[in-house]
A and B are shown apart, each in its own frame.
Chain A
Amino acid sequence: MSTLRATNFQHASATNPAIVLATDGSATANVSAINGGPLAGFRNAIINGNFDIWQRGTSFTGNEYGADRWVNVRTGTTCTMARISWALGAAPGENGAFSCRLTVGSVAGAGNASNLSQRIEGVSTFAGQQVTISFWAKADASKPIAVDLQQFFGSGGSPSATVDGIGATKFTISTTWTKYTVTATIPSVSGKTLGSDGNDRITLRIWFDAGSNFNSSTNTLGQQSGTFDISQVQLEPGPVATPFERRPIGTELALCQRYYFRNNNSNLSRTRNYAAGSADVFFFYAWPVTLRATPTVTAAGDINDGASFTTWDINIPSKENLLLAKSNISTLQFVDLNEVTASAEL
């Protein structure tokens, strides 16, 4: 038995050591995978990075949330976000079922732009750390895109200024599915001030079209139209892109539902007025998970299977549940609750 004494272990062609040995007997290792899989659960800070969950629908043209947790950010320029379905085994990357397509129609203007964003709760996320962004992508022709991160310290009070262009990188993607990787170092938040509204975050942005106002965030991407496909987005700590982390679909859905929830299965609940005389009819609806913030709520119902209505006489949302009431329901009339949505997005 002997002891091999060394300081680092490094491949002959590598620029950095794979294993750094410390004097206290510990080691730091850049491990890309364990048995070809992720290093550990929940490495990926991106939710719905595989675009499996689309509670709101499957096609969006506005400056709005589309696929769960993903925002179709566009100003001036047009952009349609749509779900693309894949046959078994045909998806890009590591056995996905869906990808996200952005069809961009550039409109010239310094302030015009289009990007795919995910807002990640908590500006302290990965603060002061090196991170790696990885995703699969292709375009309708060989075209440049850009990636950056943003630190937003929140609204309300006197928060520190937003930091844009973290790790801003421009690179060209091809017409075939390819995995791209960008490494960045997120600044420390030490000494910074949070806003009072509790909405601080970091944002991952994948840029397709950017007027000159966004040069610093996009490494001067410029403006262009095109069709861009994105799949299996991952943001993780460390300098290495590990295999895409596949979480159980129920877990991924629950993560999404912290920010947005929809149940439109019709006849969610029915309440009949058995009182003698008219009365208010109440519904109590508990969200499947506690929401990030008190949500914006929509709810659809009908009286005696009549025309659908979406306004209520009492509508009290909380992070945990919703109280609804419809007034002046006559004896033996019933009210159906057919759909509810709750949005607590950043």
Chain B
Amino acid sequence: MYQLTSGDTILRLEDNAYIPQAPGNRDFRLYLDWLEEGNTPLPAAPPPPPAPDYLAFWDALMVSTVYASIREQSFVSLPMNTLATEFIALIGDAKAGRANEAAIQASMDAILATGTFTEEQLVELGAALAAGNLDGIYTL
């Protein structure tokens, strides 16, 4: 069985061999023979989901009003200040390739439960998560 790829090669599924569409290639001729027998290759696999990009998330968060709100609330609330500091540290680790997803989710939940945010600010936070391909990982 064969599968098309997003490139110019054909994937032979029995051994994950990539076969070029080159007439002089023996395996490509066998593939053409297989097609002539009436067979059809599987379509190309969809591209893999984008990887988490914590830097993009952080960049989007920094310019949002929700970040400004957390910052302002941290001036007057020690709990919010502590939670925000913890969150910044967790995102710093994530940007370095060591994301602790459970801890980040818990930190984000605590910030949202402790502080006061408008509906628009929550939408902006969701958009920042989406910018970092994190909207499938974290919930608000």
Since A294-B24, A296-B12, A296-B18 are in contact, a sample of 19 more A-B pairs with Cβ atoms closer than 8 Å, ordered by chain A residue number, is A156-B23, A273-B97, A278-B52, A293-B22, A295-B20, A296-B19, A296-B25, A298-B17, A312-B18, A313-B47, A315-B7, A315-B9, A316-B9, A327-B47, A328-B48, A328-B49, A331-B95, A331-B97, A344-B25
Q: Contact: B23 with A277, CB < 8 Å?
A: no
- List residues of A (170-213) whose CB comes within 8 Å of B's CBs: 196-199
Can you list, as one digit per residue, whether each of A142-179 has a CB less than 8 Å from chain B (1) or not (0)?
00000000000001100000000000000000000000
The answer to whether A346 touches B97, judged by C-beta atoms less than 8 angstroms apart, is no
* Residue in B6, B12, B25 with the greatest tally of chain A CB atoms within 10 Å: B25
Is A4's beta carbon under 8 Å from chain B? no
B interface vs A, CB < 8 Å?
Answer: 5-9, 11-12, 15-20, 22-29, 47-56, 95-99, 133
Residues of chain A at the chain B interface (Cβ within 8 Å): 155-156, 196-199, 273, 276-278, 292-299, 310-317, 327-333, 343-346
Q: How far is the CB of A224 from chain B (nearest CB, A)?
A: 29
A297-B23 in contact given A197-B29, A313-B48, A332-B96 (Cβ < 8 Å): no
Q: From residue B111, how far is it (CB to closest CB) to chain A in Å?
A: 23
Question: Are B26 and A278 in contact, with the CB atoms below 8 A?
Answer: no
Q: By the criterion CB–CB under 8 Å, are B17 and A296 in contact?
A: yes
Please state if A197 and B16 are interface contacts (CB–CB under 8 Å): no
Q: Is the CB of B56 within 8 A of A330?
A: no
Known: A293-B22, A315-B7, A330-B97. A155 touches B29 (CB 8 A): yes
A317 close to B20 (CB less than 8 A): yes
Complexed CA–CA distance, A316 and B5 (Å): 11
How far does the alpha carbon of A332 sit from the alpha carbon of B92 in the complex, in Å?
Answer: 13
Q: Most chain-A CB neighbours within 10 Å: which of B15, B26, B28, B98?
A: B26
Given A196-B23, A346-B26, are A277 and B53 neighbors across the interface (CB < 8 Å)? yes
The answer to whether A294 and B22 touch (CB under 8 A), given A315-B5, A316-B9, is yes
| Known A316-B8, A332-B96, A345-B26: A298·B52 in contact at CB below 8 Å | no
Q: Are B55 and A310 in contact (CB under 8 A)?
A: no
Chain A to chain B contacts (Cβ below 8 Å), 20 pairs: A155-B23, A197-B24, A199-B26, A277-B56, A278-B51, A278-B52, A294-B22, A295-B25, A296-B12, A296-B19, A296-B20, A296-B26, A311-B16, A314-B7, A327-B48, A328-B49, A330-B51, A331-B95, A332-B96, A346-B26
Partner of A276, one of B5, B8, B95: B95
B51 touches A292 (CB 8 A): no
A331/B48 in contact, CB under 8 A: no
Closest chain B residue, CB of each to CB of A345: B26
Q: Which of B8, B12, B22, B27 has the most CB of A within 10 A?
A: B22
A256 to B56, CA, bound (A): 49
Report A27 CB to chain B, min CB distance, Å.
42
**Min CB–CB distance B90 → chain A (angstroms):** 15
A199 touching B97 in the complex, CB below 8 Å, given contacts A314-B7, A317-B18, A330-B51: no
In order of increasing CB-CB distance, the 6 nearest A-B pairs are: A328-B51, A332-B97, A278-B51, A293-B24, A294-B22, A310-B16
Q: How far is the CA of A276 from the CA of B137 in the complex (A)?
A: 19
Name the B residues within 8 Å of A156 (CB-CB).
23
Residues of B within 8 A of A333 (CB): 97
Decide yes or no: A330 and B19 within 8 Å by CB, A343-B27, A344-B25, A346-B26 being known contacts. Answer: no
Residues of B contacting A327 in the complex (Cβ-Cβ under 8 angstroms): 47-48, 51
Partner of A294, one of B25, B47, B54, B99: B25
C-alpha spacing A295/B20, complex, angstroms: 7
In whole Å, how far is B18's beta carbon from the nearest beta carbon of chain A? 4
A325 to B136: give the CA distance in the assembly, Å.
24
